[in-house]
Amino acid sequence: MKILVFGIHGQLGNALTRAVWPEGWEVSALDMPDVDFTDTASLRQVIASTKPALIVNAAAYTAVDKAESETVLNWQINALAPAAIAEEAAKVGAALVHVSTDYVYNGAKEGSWVEEDTVGPLGGYGSAKVASEMAVRALLPRHLILRTSWVYAAHGNNFVKTMLRVGRERDRLTVVDDQWGRPTEATDLGDGIIQAAHQAVSRDADWGTYNFSNSGAPTTWCGFARAIFTEAAPWYGKGPEVVAIPTSDYPTPARRPANSVMSLDKWQKTFGHTPRAWPDSLSAVLSELKKQ
């Protein structure tokens, strides 16, 4: 069975290239410059020539603040490209796993977001992702849309690696403490994608939209930062003082959801699997970073 993965240079794509896939699944992985996500004709040609049974779209424009000014590029990669992928997938008979985001929610809800909640993106990045979800649903019945949050890994650029770097440079860090969510480790997300895709393809069932993050008690970015330095302390040494600040003290071009905590109930019920607790995943990533 042929599998086509888009976006291998990102954190999730890297994890998917290192993951263990089901026996008999032949994986081809592509990213820039071999395929241009701003050129839908290029994407269509790759799919038409490869004729995969399953496509995993891990490619995305993730510069959330730049998306407010680089509107065309954001829309090309995050909305138009997924629509083209879904349409061409339908032509060749392929199923699709498309990765979305917690930014489709407006963050105003009390309690965990469920997949059936009304979306309400606060900025350009989330708006493009909502558009991509709508296109995938309209064009391709055999799809899995996974909404995820706060992705990080031992590879690539992310919050964990940024904290460790700036922690070497400063004695005091200020971090937002009123945005809530759960971190998602890229390897866990990749494994979840493979598990869900295998079940959906095998049964030709369970297609649809799912929330996916690591489990565990929700935290804030400040809480996440403090956990990073506490867990890394045995080899990193004494970290900086992490001072909690409100979002209003750290203005950004793009608004962030105040509440990104997503319910995992649908995921757990459908796939019989509870993702690792985020502190355990963080520990594993920090162990890998220590070796680097």
Confidence at residue 79, expressed as pLDDT on a 0 to 100 scale: 98
The single-letter DSSP state of residue 79 is: I
Domains with residue ranges and CATH for the chain: 2-158+183-215+261-276 (3.40.50.720)
Q: How many CA atoms lie within 13 A of 94 on its CB side?
A: 30
Annotated catalytic sites, by residue? 125
**What's the burial of 249, exposed, middle or buried (CB within 10 Å: 0-12/13-18/19+)?**
exposed
Picking from 220, 228, 242, the residue whose alpha carbon sits closest to that of residue 287 is 228
Please report which confidence band the pLDDT of residue 31 belongs to, taking 50, 70 and 90 as the band edges.
confident
- Residues with Cβ within 8 Å of residue 165, at least 6 apart in sequence: none
Confidence at residue 30, expressed as pLDDT on a 0 to 100 scale: 86
Mean pLDDT computed over 9-14: 93
Mean pLDDT computed over 21-46: 92
Mean pLDDT computed over 12-33: 92
- Residue located via tokens 């069932």: 205
Distance, CA of 36 to CA of 42 (rounded, Å)? 6
Query: CB of 81 within 8 A of CB of 41?
Result: no
Mean pLDDT computed over 34-49: 94
Q: Cα 58 to the chain's mean position, in Å?
A: 8
Residue 86 has pLDDT above 90, yes or no: yes
Please report which confidence band the pLDDT of residue 87 belongs to, taking 50, 70 and 90 as the band edges.
very high
Read off φ and ψ for residue 8, nearest 5 degrees: -75, -15
Please report which confidence band the pLDDT of residue 141 belongs to, taking 50, 70 and 90 as the band edges.
very high
Please report which confidence band the pLDDT of residue 33 belongs to, taking 50, 70 and 90 as the band edges.
confident
Q: Is the full-model pTM beyond 0.85?
A: yes
How many residues does the structure list for the chain? Answer: 292
Mean pLDDT computed over 176-197: 98
Confidence at residue 270, expressed as pLDDT on a 0 to 100 scale: 98
Mean pLDDT computed over 56-82: 97
Distance, CA of 209 to CA of 204 (rounded, Å)? 15
Mean pLDDT computed over 146-167: 97
